[in-house]
Structure 1
Amino acid sequence: MNQYVIIAIDGTDSQALERRMAARPSHIAGTRDLKANNHFILGGAILDESGKMTGSVMIVQFEDEAALQNWYLNEPYIQQNVWHSIEIKPFRVADV
């Protein structure tokens, strides 16, 4: 499986947190599906100094780029315009 790190930063407009919270149940449900299918390795929210969620980091794995792209196109935080800046990089979890 190919592994990827996703670093995604939310929008900074006044409705950004509201959009995140509205999309969050679908995002969490999708992440649970990823985990059940051995595609989710690790993830969580990026926080600002006050503890407010401002982005996400995920480490995922897929058989190929097409499967990654399928996930990407169906990710609620992308569909609902939560994430504004998204970096996806090939990654390898250390085997220690």
Structure 2
Amino acid sequence: MKQFLVLIKDFTDDDCINRRLSVREKHIKNNAMLKSSGKVLVLGGALTDKDSIMRASSLLCQADTPEQVREQLEKDIYVEAKVWDMSTFKIFEC
């Protein structure tokens, strides 16, 4: 398996932080399951602005291909809840 660094910005509307916070626990629990199963996620974290408001995410993932990483992340509650703006998805092989 290869490792990939992923950066995804949140949507920029004022309500995005509220959507993020409302599903955050589910997102964290799902990521813990992915990590323990060895499927994709190695680690991740929110990126904040100058006011410490979460505005994006960085993730270190493992998979055979970048497409597998994207496919798994598109199932995340942050996509369903319109937190992550997948048009900003960037992936880099480590």
- TM-score, normalised with respect to structure 2: 0.82
1:87 corresponds to? 89
2:69 corresponds to? 68
Structure 1 residues 8 and 66: alpha-carbon distance in aligned structure 2, compared to 1, 3 A threshold: closer
Measured after TM superposition, the shift of residue 19 of structure 1 is 0.6
Answer whether contact 1:4 1:88 (CA < 8 A) is retained.
no
Structure 1: runs of 5 or more not aligned = none
Aligned length: 92
Measured after TM superposition, the shift of residue 4 of structure 1 is 1.7
Between Structure 1 and Structure 2, the one with more strand by share is 1
Q: How large is the Cα RMSD of the aligned pairs? A: 1.8
Structure 1 residues 24 and 71: alpha-carbon distance in aligned structure 2, compared to 1, 3 A threshold: same
1:4 corresponds to? 4
Rg larger in structure: 1
- TM-score, normalised with respect to structure 1: 0.81
Within 2, Cα distance between the matches of 1:66 and 1:75? 15
Answer whether contact 1:5 1:58 (CA < 8 A) is retained.
yes
Structure 1 residues 5 and 82: alpha-carbon distance in aligned structure 2, compared to 1, 3 A threshold: same
Identity %: 26
Measured after TM superposition, the shift of residue 29 of structure 1 is 0.9
Answer whether contact 2:2 2:62 (CA < 8 A) is retained.
yes
Structure 2: runs of 5 or more not aligned = none
Structure 1 runs (4+) deviating above 6 angstroms are none
